[in-house]
A and B are shown apart, each in its own frame.
Chain A
Amino acid sequence: MLRREGLSKLTGRERYVDDLPLEDFLWGATVRSPSPRGRIAEIRFGGGVDWAEFVVVDHTDIPGRNAVYLMEYDQPALAPGYVRHVHEPVLLLAHPSRETLRRAIPEVEVVVDPDPPILDFRVVPGPEQIQYGSDNVLKRLEIKKGDVERALAEAPFVVEGVYETGAQEHVYLETQGMLAYLDGDVLVLHGSMQCPYYIVKALVPALDRPEELIRVIQAPTGGGFGGKEEFPSTLALHAALLALKSGKTVKVIYDRVEDMVATTKRHPARIRHRTGLDENGRLLAQDIEVILDGGAYVTLTPVVLSRAIIHAAGPYDCEHVRILGRAMFTNMVPFGAFRGFGNPQAHFAIERHMDVIAHRMGIDAIELRRINLIREGGTTATGQVIRDGVDRQAVLSRALELANFEKRRREHWVRNSEHRYLRRGIGAAMVYHGAGFTGSGEVVLASRLHVQGHPDGRVEVLAANIEMGQGTITIFTQIVADRLGYDPDDIVVAEPDTHRVPDSGPTVGSRTVMVVGRLLEVACDDLRRRTGLGAEARGAEVREAIVAWHIEHPEESLLGKARYEPPPGIEWDDEKYRGDAYGTFAWATQVADVEVDLRTYQVRVLDFVSVQEVGKVLNETLARGQIQGGVAQGVSWALLEECVWRDGAMENGQLTNYIIPTTCDLPPIRVEFMEVPYEFGAQGAKGIGELPLVGAAPAVLNAVAAATGREPAEIPLTPERLMVLLASDETRGGPE
């Protein structure tokens, strides 16, 4: 099926939040902290501005608890006299003219009495820098399997490595935006978002307002990638405060610079591996430490850390594993959800490390993976038994075959010895990614979903999951069409509106198709049953039964309902961090073929192959688009995207100097699927959205290592970093 809203987007008719016609409204804007930490001594309103024209809101205008609630109450909606990161919101202004508002913002001076900030998560904070608990640790987690110390002591080979990844900005092409207005007593929030119910959850305590009087509606959303998971709650609160104070409709649209410098980003990470192996390359022990920069507030950091450590040992079976994770408080902008959610960092480290190990031991890097790849019946670091019928060796083989791995490698050796300044290399990464919420997360979420049969026979999907480009509307339509034998034109997917749709959970974690899509199937079955039909009834028969039901039950609504039930046999121990971390995993091998220019230190990706097993593929074009887009973000995280920080502030908050790839920076991305239907996903599907980003960076860096004979361990591998690396005389060592 073609993307349902595709034509509307292609013709520019799709109406995003900033496109909606509005009359008599105010523009809202935010005054932010200039300083990473300190007490607000004074707020000065400059001359030359008629402040009487403005609506001004500060923390004393917050009716309830001053917090943006999701996991903790630690992040203020507006700084209450103390700031903990640069660009922290301090004041809100609104005015009918956007221009006047823009000119007024710099006329407000926030004077901060500075306290010593902590800006580097890798160093131990001094006593005067402690701001969270007794040690600035936001969250600590541990996974233990077997006896790592003993196994390491006995291992004939031990290889260590430290790997670092930088912050990454989402750069969804549509910046954050939100409208707030009162409809009678009901406060309406309408904007760009991934999780309408997260906004409700944040607004209830902060506004001290009952849930019934808050209505959140998702507008078409121009990309999210996790950046519109938790952040829009802050924006919604700000817009709401301005609307409540002014009694008017308020629109807040961030420009690109504000969006880049002030919103969440991917957590920077430092990951240390100490790995014990036998002579043949069999993994005996994996001792891993994962440290994340959490930034100034908790946001979703504990769950990002959780996903990072669960995946940190890679898709390998090792008897003795210890993974220590901690997320550190810093006075940096809060880091938050970003596609992959900790797993790209984890895989960058393990998959780079596998190549380092192979080289040190003189084993082929592919062979090293083959030996250790989880087999049917093998276990992950948390002790989850993998029995999914997926031939992981075949995934790996197919990717190598498509990429022409062996042939290219030999060609590169010859060419590299002859060419004056170009060096080519090919590298691979093997990855896995658990879809849906971690551990008991889905049980706690207890998602609910409805399908409504209308008097005219049409069926409507009532779910809180949103479309942001990944194809929710199309896939939901396909699932209903398939389940009920319906014509897609008779299927409506409701606009996510918390006064109409039940809470089917957030649109995150690759869960929409696998988890929510499955609920949709159950709800379709329930709808059919309520009309008195059996499970085999389809098409016109269902339609007629729905129409007949309405004639018999005038004025009533016909709802098929579903509520999340975990797949049988899933057990997770949240205390010990053991058991079935996810219902299932998707698997992939990604191969990058690169060329390094020794004159400019630029790395060009010549070819990229991604082969994945994601259960049943429901829509080839959409699935392929997810893979290609994810790979693109992973490749550019590896090579281009660098947040430049000074005193805790992002200095390059512009597309001019924060670089994302153009058409010319990427090769065609070649995609192939292997399909093993997953029994508990909609039509056999597993999650797909995050997986492709996970292995791209290590594949690219492994290729650079092959090309240059050095071991890059840090991304982004910008030309500057590569120059330093190549200038050092530390070669890969080990047998050539």
Chain B
Amino acid sequence: MSQRKTAGQGAAAEVLRISFTLNGVPATLEAPPSERLLDTLRYRLGLPGTKEGCAEGECGACTVLLDGLPVDSCLVPVYQVRGRRVETIEALDPADMAHYHARGTTQCGACTPGVVVTASWIVRHPELLETHSIRDLMAGNLCRCTGYDGIIEGVEDELEERGGTAGPGMHRS
């Protein structure tokens, strides 16, 4: 095939000015309001740590914290973050990764940023473990490599170091 066909083209999408707090720093950008936050972060803001695994809210690879709570950024239209706080994997302190590193929390790494962001939320809120197990809390992050033990144990160790109480999550099963 060598010929190229010509036809009409749709109108340019409207853009919106959006201000929010990104990893602790004020950010302003212009983007189509329905753009996925995931794409905004990856392709517009140069933060490719957040991954796409499914694009439909199943895998959690795209997890970021929105006002401190984990959300699937593939399901968040960017206009929804106006005036809110977004935290991505890039904001987390590498010094906090030691237990995950030691326990084999990561293998291929594709699920890992999402896993670590969710884990960071759990370890900051040990009170969650009074009502949920770590397995319950991590159920939104699919991992195809580890069978999950390396993830669960990494979170357990991190909680323990931070003095988290032994809620039901400390019993694995």
Contacts and interface: CB of A to CB of B under 8 A. Distances in A.
Contacts of A173: 51, 53, 59, 61, 108, 110-111, 142-145
Interface stretch (A292-300, A438-446, A494-502, A622-630): A622-630
A625 B108 contact: no
Interface in B123-148: 134-136, 138-148
Contacts of B92: 11-12
A54 interface: yes
A632 interface: yes
DSSP class of B's interface residues: helix, strand, loop or mixed? loop
B5 A51 contact: yes
Contact of B1 (A48, A56, A220, A629): A56
Contact of A3 (B8, B10, B106, B113): B106
A655 B56 contact: yes
A642 to B, nearest CB: 16
B106 A6 contact: yes
A629 B144 contact: yes
B172 A668 contact: yes
Given A52-B5, A628-B149, A664 B135 contact: yes
A10 B110 contact: no
B173 A668 contact: yes
B107 A50 contact: no
Contacts of A42: none
Interface string B34-60: 000000001000101111111110110
A8 B112 CA distance: 10
Contact of A12 (B56, B113, B147): B113
Contact of B104 (A625, A664, A666): A625
B112 A172 contact: no
B161 to A, nearest CB: 16
B84 interface: no
A21 B108 contact: no
B88 interface: yes
Interface string A1-25: 0110111111111111011010000
B73 interface: no
Contacts of A603: none
Nearest to A108: B5
B108 A654 contact: no
A309 to B, nearest CB: 28
Contacts of B90: 11-12
Contact of A469 (B54, B88, B108): B108
Interface residues of A, number: 75
Interface residues on B, range: 35 or more
A30 interface: no
A660 B173 CA distance: 19
Contact of A223 (B7, B46, B48, B145): B145
B49 A49 contact: no
Contacts of B173: 606, 667-668
Given A11-B94, A223-B108, A621-B103, A48 B144 contact: no
B89 A12 contact: yes
A21 B45 CA distance: 11
B109 A14 contact: yes
A91 B1 contact: yes
A667 B101 CA distance: 22
A19 B48 contact: yes
B97 interface: yes
A60 interface: yes
B93 to A, nearest CB: 9
B147 A666 contact: yes
A212 interface: no
Nearest to A13: B49
A49 B55 contact: no
Contact of B148 (A8, A18, A633, A663): A663
Given A49-B9, A50-B8, A52-B4, A621 B104 contact: yes
B168 to A, nearest CB: 13
B83 to A, nearest CB: 25
A632 B150 CA distance: 12
Nearest to A635: B147
B102 interface: yes
A663 B135 contact: yes
A629 B142 contact: no
A625 B4 contact: no
Contacts of A103: 10
Contacts of A58: 1
Interface in A51-89: 51-54, 56-58, 60-61
Given A12-B89, A19-B48, A57-B1, A50 B9 contact: yes
B104 A469 contact: no
A619 B4 CA distance: 56
Contact of A225 (B116, B144, B147): B144
A173 B94 CA distance: 23
B144 A654 contact: no
Interface in A560-606: 606
Nearest to A253: B52
Given A662-B139, A663-B138, A11 B53 contact: no
A669 B147 contact: yes
A48 B2 CA distance: 20
B122 to A, nearest CB: 12
B8 A48 contact: yes
Contacts of B150: 621, 624-625, 628
Interface of A: 2-3, 5-16, 18-19, 21, 43, 45-54, 56-58, 60-61, 91, 103, 170-175, 220-225, 255-256, 468-471, 606, 621-622, 624-625, 628-633, 654-656, 660, 662-664, 666-669
The 8 closest A-B pairs by CB, nearest first: A12-B49, A469-B108, A222-B110, A9-B109, A51-B5, A628-B147, A12-B89, A469-B107
Given A12-B90, A51-B4, A58-B1, 5 more contacts: A12-B49, A52-B6, A56-B4, A173-B108, A469-B109
11 contacts: A6-B97, A7-B94, A9-B106, A10-B106, A621-B150, A625-B104, A628-B147, A628-B149, A629-B144, A655-B53, A660-B144
